[in-house]
Structure 1
Amino acid sequence: MFPFVSGKYLLHGEWKEASNRTSIYNPAKFHELVGEVALVSEQECTEAIDSSEKAFHTWSTTSVEDRANRMLQAAAAIKPIVEENVSLYVRENGKVLVEAKKDIMRCVDVMTQGAEAVIQWWKPEERSGGQKVQIRRRPRGVAAVITPWNSPVLLTFKRVIPAILAGNTVVVKPASNCPLTVMTLLKTVAEHFPPGVINIITGSGAMIGDILSRDSRVRTISFVGGTDTGKTLMKTSADTLTKLYMELGGNDPAVLLPDVVLDQTALTRLRGGVLRAAGQVCSAIKRIYVPQSRADELVEKLTNECNRVIVGNGLIPDANMGPLNNKKQFTYVSDLIKSTKSSGANVIETGRALDPETWEEGYFILPHIVTGVTQTEEIVRCEQFGPVIPIITYSDEEEAITWANDTIFGLRASVWTEDEEKAMRLADRIQAGAVFHNNHTVFQDLHLDFPGIKESGVSRETRWGSLELFADSYGFAN
């Protein structure tokens, strides 16, 4: 049974049927139709902006207490439908059950924590000095939220929720590969807000992105996705000086120092940093640097750890890694593995298939560890976005830092050592939006959301997280 939102889009409080649609299939079972995606027209995209602009005039004048209370009510309504949406999420995205449920539960946390924080955040801040000055806040207007297919639910909620709490209205454009869970959950959220506060459109990313970025009524664009698309949005929004918040691609390094302890905790964290969501994470570990003296030990232990991975349909509890999400990504990663083997590198296949008989029915790839490669090779320099990880040996600390920074990206990084002070010193030199010590994960505090540097992102973290990104601060003096 298809979800209610299948083949529809949300315009000013009404779910409308689109004249054109495309199908979504389970990446673990090619033949299983999960639902449909509406392909909106240019006119329908513009109508969504019209609706958002109209709703903004009244929504922006509501009290912060009203916005917070509505959000808490929406969060309470989401909790009872979590379980029924976990399986939908797995079927359209490919994540395993535990990852899917964690994503949705963290969306509830985004809503409740945001509602609690916005009350304090909205209060004027007094500045002392020669005159009395207050720093006050106001919403910016219509916000466009464009999110990717790899972690669509949480990444959408982390943008939509603070935008609404700050008094903005939003036009949401989920990825066409797997929008159904996002839309089903946002359907429940939207029911607690006036029509037009949330509009949801799906379809051609190029067409919708172009319209949203050129329309002067859209005052903020939050985009998570590929760097090339981010550059396009920056160009097309330049004429209106639209505020941009972008988290883009990554080629995250993990730098292991000579004193690293490769115990079970470290190996579990390394494996998670590489293979979470089958490696389809912008901030996943994409390359590991290890001293020559510790290389053999790392390869042996990480191989044994990855051999514990069971790849299969995410709905089956025994699977701890699912398929890749779509054919394009599957083909790219498969070809990358083949070309790496052809180059003469040592490619170690690890893990096992949960069900070999149905293996060819999904976009399944086993984890691969690559050795015998140098800094200049494609497998090291690209964003693999799949379960394949190169290990590169270095001769000294300076070389490791130089290589870690030798990339156009700068999203996340990690330093693995028993010396915390040394880890912090090296973190100061690594060009990344965030650096982890003896881990490579996400921030537990949902108010923290550090974009990357270089070609990995635009905009920086603030004290109040994403709330600040969707508001203007201004001074009132007398």
Structure 2
Amino acid sequence: MIVTQPFVSGKYLIGGKWIQSNKTAKVINPADINEVVGEVALCTKEEVNKAIEVAATAYESWSRSELNDRVDRMKSAAKEIKSLVEENVTLLVRENGKVLVEAKKDLLRCVDVMIETADELLEWWKPEPLHGNQKVQIRKRSRGVTAVISPWNSPMILTFKRVIPAILTGNTVVVKPATNCPLTIMTFLKVVASYFPDGVINIVTGSGSVVGDVLCSDPRVRTISFVGSTETGKDIMRAASGTVKNLYMELGGNDAAIILPGANLDTEMIKKLRFGVLRAAGQVCSAIKRIYVHESKYDELVEKLTKEFQRVKVGNGIQPDVEMGPLNNKSQFEYVKGLIDRAEKAGATVITGGIQLDPDSWDDGYYILPTIVTGATQESEIVRSEQFGPVIPILTFADTKEAIKLANDSEFGLRASVWTEDESVAIQLADLLEAGAVFHNNHTVFQDLHLDFPGHKESGLSRETRHCGLELYADSYGLGN
């Protein structure tokens, strides 16, 4: 298949100029590894340094720009971005592996981020008076250059939720997309960047050991916003410590779902559980990765969830009837396959479901069918690890005290869920769970873009936000007399 590569293929953006890299790597379609979707530039340390230099220079004037001007630019950019969704949704599917429905939602949600964050800016930026014997105001100001380091699993929304509030609060950004799927991000940010002064948005790509290290250690970078693994997050913290940067990091998760005796495992609940496990083929930080079910509900849950998994259509996300696509890359595919194989060898029972839509081309993609693992223990690798794939271990508990202990027995603490008809019980358990957010009879994301909650323990480093993330990219200072 011959496909025209996007304009951004093999290029990087510095100071409003798209520059062709001397060294590139291929971006592969995970649904068909024989298809090259485009190329990604492998930037050098010198090129990353240049991007930071340009961003630092642009910051001097952009930080003093009028708020209304920033809002107008963002809303104009949002209109054009919305008009490009339909023609670019297949690009995201081809480089990421998402199904069309999920990919389109991601792109439209990026438009929402632009509009809602711009709407929030003017009111949020107003000085806040403090009452007392002295006249004091809390005022806000921009911080400097922001490095946005994006993941490959949900590259669009997780990039836009960081870039947009950063530039609206008067910062400039250097964005590092994941090398596995940078093309859609860059295609859309190309448009956004055209509405802002040169140097406000810069994009460099390449390995973390080159690009990431420079971004994290350079003193001109004042904020690092990162989404990715906990281990990489620890590396970033070490690199950033020399210049005491502001860090906003969404890291790994091993989310627990607790099914209580009072849960109603009807069709709707089972579908919500399936979605909580299999959304984006399980490649979601806040997906369900462990299920603890009361022993009285165990047989019912396994039977019903197995039947639900068996109906899932797996294949190339370009096809409109596909419900789950492939894993994004070879490394993740081999990791998840290894977890399943080792669990089975250790004595667990592996139940595989799903429908292969194209059996003849199945081995051309990084496909794994929806999988349930029973008979594992709390100490099993597949229970303790963040699988990041379409596989879920199911364990039992005898009472709620045990359930809470098992759920909290992890270094992670991103999200959790409690499943019961008794909301008061769910609230009581939520207070005991070590997670940044707890859902009742669901395991999803916050639909309100104003809201976000950080993970606990090794799942993140930031604070909860109620203003589209604007709080994370501006400093407050006091003005008194």
Q: TM-score, normalised by structure 1?
A: 0.99
Question: How far apart are residue 465 of structure 1 and its match?
Answer: 4.0
What is residue 5 of structure 2 aligned with on the other side?
A: 2
* Preserved contact between residue 452 and residue 466 of structure 2 (Cα < 8 Å): no
Please give the alpha-carbon distance, in whole angstroms, between the structure 2 residues aligned to 1:337 and 1:404: 21
Residue 208 of structure 1 aligns to which amino acid in structure 2?
A: V
CA–CA separation in structure 1 for the residues paired with 2:209 and 2:248: 18
Secondary structure at the counterpart of residue 199 of structure 2? coil
Q: In the alignment, which of 152, 155, 162 is matched to residue 152 of structure 1? A: 155
2:479 alignment partner AA: F
Question: 2 CA distance for matches of 1:383 and 1:16?
Answer: 37
Structure 1: which 5+ residue stretches go unaligned?
A: none
Aligned AA (1:308): R
- Separation of aligned partners in 2, 1:220 and 1:431: 27
The aligned runs of 1:337-356 (5 Å cut-off) are 337-356=340-359
Per the alignment, residue 170 of structure 1 pairs with 173
Cα deviation for residue 335 of structure 1 reads 1.2
Q: Structure 1, residues 322-375: CA drift from partner, whole Å, max 9, x if none? A: 000000000111111111111111110011101101101100110000111111
Secondary structure of 2:117's counterpart equals: helix
1:437 equivalenced with 2:446 (yes/no): no
Match of 2:265 in 1: 262
List, as ranges, runs of 4+ consecutive aligned residues in structure 1 with deviation greater than 4 Å.
none
C-alpha deviation, 1:270, in angstroms: 0.3
Query: Could you list the per-position Cα deviations for residues 130-168 of structure 1 after superposition, in whole angstroms to 9, with x for gaps in the alignment?
Result: 111111000000000001000000000000000001000
**Most deviating of 217-226 and 464-473:** 464-473
Q: Which residue of 2 aligns with 1:88?
A: 91
2:93 is equivalent to residue 97 of structure 1: no
Counterpart amino acid of 1:330?
F
- For the residues of structure 2 that align with 1:220 and 1:447, how far apart are their CA atoms? 20
Pair 1:125-2:128 in alignment: yes
Alignment of 1:251-400 (within 5 A): 251-400=254-403
User: 2:180 aligns to what SS in structure 1?
Assistant: coil
Report deviation, 1:279.
0.3
Look up the SS of the partner of 1:474 in the other structure. strand
Partner of 2:421 in structure 1? 418
Output the CA distance in 1 between the equivalents of 2:452 and 2:46: 34
Q: Which amino acid aligns with 2:398?
A: S
Shift of 1:237: 0.7
Q: Structure 1 CA distance, aligned partners of 2:267 and 2:116?
A: 33
- 3-state SS in 1 of match to 2:316: coil
Q: Does residue 467 of structure 1 match 2:470?
A: yes
Distance 1:157 1:141 in 2: 18
* 8 A Cα contact 2:450 2:465, kept in partner: no
Give a deviation string over 1:234-272, Cα, whole Å, max 9, x none. Answer: 011111110000000000000111000011111111000
Tell me by how many angstroms 1:25 deviates.
1.1
1:72 corresponding residue in structure 2: 75
Which secondary structure state, in structure 1, belongs to the residue aligned with residue 410 of structure 2? coil
Residue type matched to 1:386 in 2?
G
Which position in structure 1 is the counterpart of 2:215?
Answer: 212
Deviation (angstroms), 1:27: 0.5
Query: Tell me, what secondary structure is at the counterpart of 1:446?
Result: coil
How many residues get paired?
A: 478
The correspondence for 1:48, drawn from 46, 51, 76, is 51
State the AA in 1 paired with 2:392: I
Q: Secondary structure at the match of 2:233?
A: helix
Whole-angstrom distance in 2 between the partners of 1:423 and 1:257: 9
Cα deviation, residue 464, structure 1: 2.0
Find the partner of 2:29 among 11, 26, 31. 26
Output the CA distance in 1 between the equivalents of 2:149 and 2:454.
Answer: 15
8 Å Cα contact 2:327/2:389 also seen in 1: yes
- Cα distance in 2, alignment partners of residues 213 and 362 from structure 1: 34
1:363-401 Cα shifts (integer Å, max 9, x gaps): 011000011111111111000000100000001110000
Q: Which moved more, 1:84-93 or 1:205-214?
A: 205-214
Q: Which SS does the other structure have where 2:170 is aligned?
A: coil
- SS at the partner of 2:275? helix
Equivalent residue number for residue 401 of structure 1:
404
Contact 2:116–2:468 (8 Å) recurs in 1: no
* Distance in 1 of aligned mates of 2:216 and 2:28: 30
Q: Tell me how far 1:79 sits from its aligned partner.
A: 0.9
Percent identity between matched residues is: 64
Aligned AA (2:15): H
Alignment TM-score, normalising by the size of structure 2: 0.99
Q: What is the distance in 2 between the residues matched to 1:426 and 1:454? A: 18
In 2, distance between residues paired with 1:357 and 1:210?
43
**Local SS of the residue matching 2:64:** coil
Q: Which of 19, 34, 38 is the matching residue for 1:16?
A: 19
1:240 paired with 2:243, answer yes
Q: How far, CA to CA, are the matches of 1:291 and 1:435 in structure 2?
A: 18
Does residue 202 of the first structure (1) align with residue 205 of the second (2)? yes
Residues in 2 aligned to 1:182 and 1:450: alpha-carbon distance in whole angstroms? 24
Which one of 436, 453, 456 corresponds to residue 456 of structure 2? 453
SS of the equivalent of 1:293 reads: coil
Q: Letter of the 2:339 partner, please give it.
A: L
Rounded to whole Å, the distance in 2 between the matches of 1:236 and 1:465 is 27
Q: Are 1:115 and 2:118 matched, yes or no? A: yes
